[in-house]
Amino acid sequence: MFSFFKKKKNVYECLPIKVDFHSHFLPGLDDGAISLDETMTMLKQMHDLGYTHLIMSPHVMGDYYKNTPLMILEKLELVRMEALKQNLNLILDATAEYYLDEWFAEKIEQKQLLPFGDNNILFEISYVNEPRNLFETIFNLQIAGYKPILAHPERYSFYHNRFEIYEELVAKGCQLQINSLSLIGYYGIAERKTAEKLIEKNLVAYLGSDAHKQKHVELLKEVSKTEFFARASQQIQNNILSDKN
């Protein structure tokens, strides 16, 4: 999934990650792409950066984003047809980014989720309030046969000075996915430092774009030149090879 990097004159030169499973490219489903034209523009940008496989993940959030697996897959088929029409050579799939709320608990119990890969489920929590049922939710996902992945943990400020929570999450089998844009301080200095510390401690399982708009995609080129992007890519590559052995 990830390419190796090389260091030359203290400048890190990385080939981009080939697969991205956290983006908001599917049109009209959330706060990401509005139109099919906007979707295609961003897909072409991702292709030009070297991505070969996009697993797009619109929000699913209570009464706000009521996206169902059927709705998501219908939009995926629309985008696939347009990509084929425009001869865009990308593998396109879809999942969802679930918000931890009471509706999420119901979906887990009823197995009304749209996983990707090896039954992976991407989910996020509130940026403002620390959830009391985080570990309970992770356990329930696992009991239901899913593999939980917490999206952008570096953006939850209530954990910044409690790194033992991140370590416990990984120990309990929840993988962590940081946003690539965090590595250039797009969301703030504290978020960048937290993302870097997570990489230093080898707690990062995935990097994701979390791209909502063209600006986000354009900034990925800047991200790919950073030292910590290179370090994370190498760590993830090593972990993948280790898992295979």
Residue 83 belongs to a domain: yes
Q: Give the pLDDT confidence of 168-193 residue by residue, as tens digits.
A: 999 999 999 999 999 999 999 999 99
Number of structural domains found in the chain: 1
* DSSP strand pairing (11-14 vs 53-56): unpaired
Burial class (CB in 10 A: 0-12, 13-18, 19+), 97: buried
Residue 78 belongs to a domain: yes
Check residue 78 and give its pLDDT.
Answer: 98
- The model's pTM is 0.91
Give the pLDDT mean for 232-243. Answer: 70
Residues 6+ apart with CB under 8 A from 92: 43, 53, 54, 56, 76, 79, 80, 83
Residue 142 belongs to a domain: yes
Give the pLDDT mean for 227-239. Answer: 84
- Chain centroid to CA 66: how far? 20
- What CATH number corresponds to the domain at position 138? 3.20.20.140
Split at pLDDT 50, 70, 90, the class of 70 is: very high
Residue 105 belongs to a domain: yes
**Joined tokens for residue 95:** 């999942």
Domain residue limits at 49 = 16-244
> Do residues 90 and 48 lie in contact, with contact meaning Cβ atoms separated by under 8 Å?
no
Give the pLDDT mean for 62-80. Answer: 96
CA quadruple 62, 163, 14, 120: dihedral sign: negative
Taking Cα atoms as reference points, which of 136, 63, 140 lies closest to residue 108? 140
Tell whether the model's pLDDT for residue 122 goes beyond 70: yes
Residue 8 belongs to a domain: no
Split at pLDDT 50, 70, 90, the class of 1 is: very low
Check residue 236 and give its pLDDT.
Answer: 78
Tell whether the model's pLDDT for residue 14 goes beyond 50: no
Residue 1 belongs to a domain: no
CA quadruple 91, 97, 103, 108: dihedral sign: positive
Residue 203 belongs to a domain: yes
Give the pLDDT mean for 99-105. Answer: 96
Residue 238 belongs to a domain: yes
DSSP state of 116: B
- Work out the mean pLDDT of the chain and round it to a whole number: 91
**Joined tokens for residue 167:** 């370590």
